[in-house]
Amino acid sequence: MIHKPVLTKEVLELLNPVKNENFIDCTVGEGGYATLILEKNKPFGKLLGIDLDLEQIENCKLTINDNRLILVNDSYTNIKDIIERIKFGPVNGILLDLGYSSWQLEKSGRGFSFQKDESLDMRYNISHSLTAKIIVNEYSHDSIEKIFHEYGEERFAKRITQKIIEERKFKKIEGTIQLVQIIKEAIPLKLLHGRIHFATRTFQALRIAVNDELNNLTKVLQNIVSVLSPGGRIVIISFHSLEDRIVKNFFKNREKNDDIRILTKKPLTAKISELKINPRSRSAKLRAFVKI
């Protein structure tokens, strides 16, 4: 499965890469956006691609053969240190796509998908110790329920948690399909065939908790304005309401400092034509600003 980047037309319009400008893709993945930006900023513009997942860095190398692309395996929370370390700049634009990729879902074998039987891992960075398996087998009832309630906005967080606690007394919860079965038994029958798969919110919550995604987003937002050149643009694509709320509030509060101007008064979403060819774009919300 090839990863299709979402809202590419909108990203290019708002980032507006022109020749010889430099850009940062904070979650470079397989290089979907990077390829498009490098086409626009040639002949001498560079692109710094950051990714926490080392395998994604390797995937990107296979996709793009261009010496203007600099790849760094690190967390985007360290954007300031990375820029200083490799002496990258000036920075004319930053892209932050907060979704995981099709490759991670389909090929990584790390349990991101509830439709394949894989180990409950869910780490972007496999050198980190915390996994989804540790959370469901070792965390307290209250801690698990809080994760499902806050990060998944799961209405049946209490019931799912209770079922997990009961099951793990008899057998360690090791795999994705095992967890899906537990969720299935915990929620009302009428919800098993809804528009959104019944395991979606639980898996989302575990992934966010394992990778500390919301705290990492807050950390990177604290640094992105300072690393950007005047006139530089930021585009952020989020995939669930918690992320979008953090981004929206940051933009609104930051605009009061008079050092940025918001370019998207409301988040941009995918048009029907894109939804037909890329269902993943359904939940994408794009916000952008320019540094004054």
Q: How far apart are CA 165 and CA 140, in angstroms?
A: 9
Round to whole Å and give the CA distance between 154 and 285. 20
Q: How far apart are alpha carbons 178 and 173 in whole angstroms?
A: 7
In the block, tokens 């090791």 appear at: 174
Query: Which structural domains are found in the chain, ordered by start?
Result: 8-104+213-291 (3.40.50.150), 109-211 (1.10.150.170)
Q: How many whole angstroms separate alpha carbon 292 and alpha carbon 280?
A: 33
Cα gap 289→292, rounded to integer Å: 9
Per-residue pLDDT tens over the stretch 35-71? 999 999 999 999 999 999 999 999 999 999 999 999 9
pLDDT at 102: 72
Q: Would the CA dihedral through 224, 225, 226, 230 be positive or negative?
A: positive
Tokens linked to 166: 């009961």
Q: Which pLDDT tens digit goes with each residue over 273-287?
A: 888 888 778 889 999
Q: Is the dihedral of CA 54, 56, 59, 64 positive or negative?
A: negative
Whether the model pTM is above 0.85: yes
